[in-house]
Amino acid sequence: MSHTSPPAPEPITKLHTGIPGFDTVAEGGLPRGRTTLIAGTAGSAKTVFATHFLASGIRDAGESGVFITFEDTPEDIRRNMLGFGWDIAGWEREGKWAFVDAALRADDQAVVVGDYDLGALLARVEHAVKRTGAARVSMDSVNALFARFADHGTLRAELYRISAALKELGATVVFTAERIDEYGEVSRYGVEEFVADNVLILRNLLQEEKRRRTVEILKFRGTSHQRGEFPFTVSPERGITVLPLSAMELTQSSSDTRVTSGLPELDRMVGGGYFRDSVILLSGATGTGKTLTVTHFVSGGYSAGERSLLFAFEESREQLARNARGWGVDFERMSEEGMLRVVPVYPHAMPIEDHLLRMRDAIDEFRPGRVIVDSLSALERVTSLRSFREFIINLTSFIKHREIVGMFTSTASKLTGGDSVTEKHISTLTDTILLLRYVECRGELRRGLLVLKMRGSPHEKNIREFTIDATGMHVGEPFRGIGGILGGTFARGADGGWDGDAEDPDAA
């Protein structure tokens, strides 16, 4: 008696959602032909996600979609989503998008039903899917159904029925449901997640008086995905964009090409100039010369025929131009020649994830050889520490992959130096660290410059004195006979003089 083996199951394939960044987290997209629950609290962008899923299918993959609405009217959805550039009405006329309107109207009689089923709704849905040839279906939001069903077990069975019918038609389905707490139960009624093959959780967290949106794939049945929460943002230009740090792979090439700092003596201190694909952290207290160092950096790029893009979070374009003009550098002429673009932005104007996306867009559009962020300290104040560090990781990786040299400024916490919070959390992410410090000598305030770190190159270890005049910065000789400059506490020798090679610091 022969026994035949059961046929091998077909592997689960992924459907690219077209939502930027999400397919990286999902390792290819949503499982094709399956049902995914999108659960989230109010304001977590559930409806936007469900709409973006259909819009990307139409726009990027040529796949029609059906939108089943249980709460908002089709007219509201058309109007609200037009702000993202999604012309739903136009797609309806072209037969690419169909609504199934199951929303309860204000003048409808709210009836709680017992032995009621969704057979009529299912027939309408099947008709819309077949008429449009839809590969994608979104349902928003199934919570409205719970007000109509006294028996949640019956509703669960009916949702299973709809899901199974859509699977038979080959559709990939997402449906939204509300949650009460960001880290509580998956769904409000505890039924929705058991109907779905996959579960996504969208969060709209309040951290340190600031909102932060994240997405987490809680369950992908039978296939892999990345674990944990990933930040995302919602913008009119692109809808939802997920920002996975996992996409920031350390695969960029390493360049040996040197570029000038704009100061010949500083170039010598760093072994011949910065590396083409390096990121420099410039740290100093207020007034130590950070803006001037940036100005020389821009000027050095201009002389070498390289464009510079300066993101200014503390000063206006006019202030920066005036300051540069005072040192003999003409920012206006550079801008007119297309060699410099200054982008002044108020740090509180938007979430840090939106800042990141706008900065990446500006870099891709302008294609600079140098990028300056002045300053990171301003951005640090408007977000949580976790979001700030994710921002730095993403931005540094982005510019390194494009072999752009970057300079980030940071304000030290004390007048005499010391680590800023910024330095503590991003120093390991940068290739070169320059410290600008005040040095007090016999009642006179002087300035010092130190190359604290430079990856892949020997560099000078001395703290050099520098001066500032109408022509800019001038790097001089190393300080001698002075200790404790970095900590702001200077050490004296046993004889009352200064420790080091000389008794009098003015001998330097």
pLDDT of 115 reads 46
Q: Could you tell me the strand order of the sheet in which 229-235 lies?
A: 97-101, 65-69, 136-140, 172-178, 35-40, 198-207, 210-220, 229-235, 239-242
Strand partners, 166: none
* Cα 191 from Cα 130, distance rounded (Å): 28
Closest CA to 388 of 168, 166, 231, 176: 231
Which residue among the candidates 27, 265, 314, 440 is catalytic per the annotation? 314
Instruction: Report yes or no: 366 and 306 within 8 Å, Cβ to Cβ.
Output: no
pLDDT of 506 reads 40
Which residue among the candidates 71, 92, 182, 229 is catalytic per the annotation? 71
What average pLDDT does range 266-276 have in this prediction? 95
Which of helix, strand or coil describes residue 22? helix
pLDDT of 421 reads 46
Q: How many helices (H) and strands (E) does the chain have?
A: 16, 22
Lookup: tokens for 411:
């304000």
User: Reduced to 3 DSSP states, what percent helix, strand and coil does the chain have, rounded to the nearest 5?
Assistant: 35, 25, 40
DSSP symbol at 451: E
466 or 107: which carries more pLDDT confidence?
466
> Could you check whether the bond before residue 387 is cis, i.e. omega within 30 degrees of 0?
no
pLDDT of 497 reads 43
Closest CA to 310 of 343, 357, 345: 343
The answer to whether 126 is a known catalytic residue is: no
Q: Could you tell me the strand order of the sheet in which 370-374 lies?
A: 340-344, 308-312, 370-374, 405-411, 279-284, 432-441, 444-454, 464-469, 472-478
pLDDT of 256 reads 84
As a whole number, the mean pLDDT across the chain is 86
- Identity of the amino acid at 176: T
Residue 499 confidence class, pLDDT cut points 50, 70, 90: very low
Using a 10 angstrom Cβ sphere, with 0-12 exposed, 13-18 middle and 19 or more buried, the burial of residue 166 is buried
Q: Among 227-241, 248-262, 310-324, 439-453, which is the least confidently predicted range?
A: 248-262
What average pLDDT does range 51-79 have in this prediction? 95
Q: Which residues contact 296 (CB under 8 A, 6 or more apart)?
A: 261, 262, 263, 266, 329, 472, 473
pLDDT of 161 reads 87
* Cα 135 from Cα 147, distance rounded (Å): 29
Closest CA to 375 of 287, 279, 291: 291
What average pLDDT does range 347-365 have in this prediction? 92
pLDDT of 501 reads 40
Residue 110 confidence class, pLDDT cut points 50, 70, 90: very low
Q: What percent of the chain has pLDDT over 90?
A: 58
The answer to whether 306 is a known catalytic residue is: no
pLDDT of 165 reads 92
Asked if pLDDT for residue 50 goes beyond 80, the answer is yes
Asked if pLDDT for residue 248 goes beyond 60, the answer is no
pLDDT of 462 reads 92
What average pLDDT does range 312-339 have in this prediction? 96
* Cα 22 from Cα 29, distance rounded (Å): 7
Strand partners, 435: 283, 450
339 or 147: which carries more pLDDT confidence?
339
pTM summary value? 0.80
* Cα 468 from Cα 291, distance rounded (Å): 12
What phi and psi, each to the nearest 5 degrees, are found at residue 91? -65, -35
Residue 289 confidence class, pLDDT cut points 50, 70, 90: very high
Which of helix, strand or coil describes residue 298? helix
Q: What is the DSSP pairing of strand 172-178 with strand 35-40?
A: parallel
Residue 450 confidence class, pLDDT cut points 50, 70, 90: very high
Residue 156 confidence class, pLDDT cut points 50, 70, 90: confident
pLDDT of 348 reads 86
pLDDT of 330 reads 97
Lookup: tokens for 272:
């011949």
